[in-house]
Amino acid sequence: MGVETAELSLTSSAFFFVGQRFRSDKANLFQFEIRVPTRFEGEMYSKIGSTQTTGETPLPLQEVVLVDCPDEVGLIHRITGVLAAHQWNIESNQEFVDGEASHFFFRAEVSSKTCCSTQGMSDLQTALVDVLPAKASVRIVSREPRPIVICATREPHCLGELLLLDAVGELPGKIIAVISNHDTLRQLVERFDVPFHFLPHHEQSREVHEQQLAELIDTYAPEAIVLARYMRVLSERFVDRYSEKLINIHHSFLPAFVGAAPYHQAFERGVKVIGATAHYVTAELDAGPIIAQDVIPVDHTFSAKQMAQAGRNVEKIVLAKAVRLVLEDRVFMHSGRTVVFS
**All domains in the chain, ordered by first residue:** 2-142 (3.30.70.260), 146-340 (3.40.50.170)
User: Pick the catalytic residue: 286, 294, 299, 329?
Assistant: 286
The partner residues of 290 in beta bridges, in order of sequence, read 279
pTM: 0.82
Confidence of residue 110 (pLDDT cuts 50, 70, 90): very high
pLDDT at 242 > cutoff 90: yes
Better-predicted residue by pLDDT, 205 or 16: 205
Q: Counting runs of H as helices and runs of E as strands, what totals does the chain give?
A: 11, 13
Question: In this predicted structure, which of 12-26, 114-128, 252-266 has the lowest mean pLDDT?
Answer: 12-26
> How many CB atoms within 10 Å of residue 59?
12
pLDDT at 1 over 60: no
Q: Which amino acid is at 246?
A: L
Q: How high is the pLDDT of residue 218?
A: 98
Judge residue 28's burial from the number of C-beta atoms within 10 Å of its C-beta, 0-12 exposed, 13-18 middle, 19 or more buried: middle
C-alpha to C-alpha distance for 324 and 321, rounded to whole angstroms: 5
Phi and psi torsions of 272, nearest 5°: -110, -5
Cα–Cα distance list, 168 to 161, 162, 173 (Å): 11, 10, 12
Backbone angles phi, psi at 48, to 5 degrees: -90, -40
Answer yes or no: 286 catalytic: yes
Q: Please give the mean pLDDT across all residues of the chain.
A: 85
Q: Rounded mean pLDDT of 108-120?
A: 84
Q: What is the pLDDT of residue 59?
A: 64
